[in-house]
Amino acid sequence: MKCPYCGCEESKVVDSRPTDEGERIRRRRECFNCSKRFTTYEIIETTPVMVIKRDNSREPYNREKLTNGILRACEKRPVSLDDIDMIVDKVETKIQSTLDREISSKLIGEYTLDILKNVDEVAYVRFASVYRQFKDVHTFLEELNRLISEK
């Protein structure tokens, strides 16, 4: 495992524990060269899932793309990186539970919105505005009204 600070390939595991869901193992490592600590995650290798995009093209599921989209929606909001990891973990659990090797980006977006709604409503609306491609202010207001009526 390469150190993200100095690139050294030698490190030792300082702490190791399963995540809340027990599907990943979180490891704290210390670099032998620079002595800085960093976190890695070990996950079970699963069958790759292909994402069917809006234009019907297909690409492999990419955890990083989902994380970046959620990060943008949560920018300047009181949502921790641990919360974002938890959201992505829950979405991935739902994806894996479908047992399908292909899943639409629309379904991934819906899974994400369902979880985001309970974490941060502003982040939910931000994510929805990009994911649902709000065309104008009226579409934005419709989503806000739907959110308010569900409360």
CA angle 13, 91, 112 (to 5 degrees): 130
Lookup: tokens for 10: 């030698």
Q: Tell me if the pTM is above 0.95.
A: no
Q: Distance (Å, rounded) from C-alpha 69 to C-alpha 92? A: 14
DSSP label at residue 27 = E
Q: Which two tokens stand for residue 131?
A: 């994911």
Cα–Cα dist 102/107, whole Å: 11
Residues 31-58: tens digit of each pLDDT: 999 999 999 988 876 678 899 998 999 9
As a whole-number percent, the residues of the chain with pLDDT over 70 amount to 98
The predicted-structure confidence for 116-146, as pLDDT tens digits, reads as follows 989 998 898 888 888 777 777 777 777 777 7
Find the angle CA(35)-CA(37)-CA(38) to the nearest 5 degrees.
Answer: 140
SS3 label, residue 25: strand
pLDDT of res. 46: 67
Element (H, E) at 52: strand 50-52
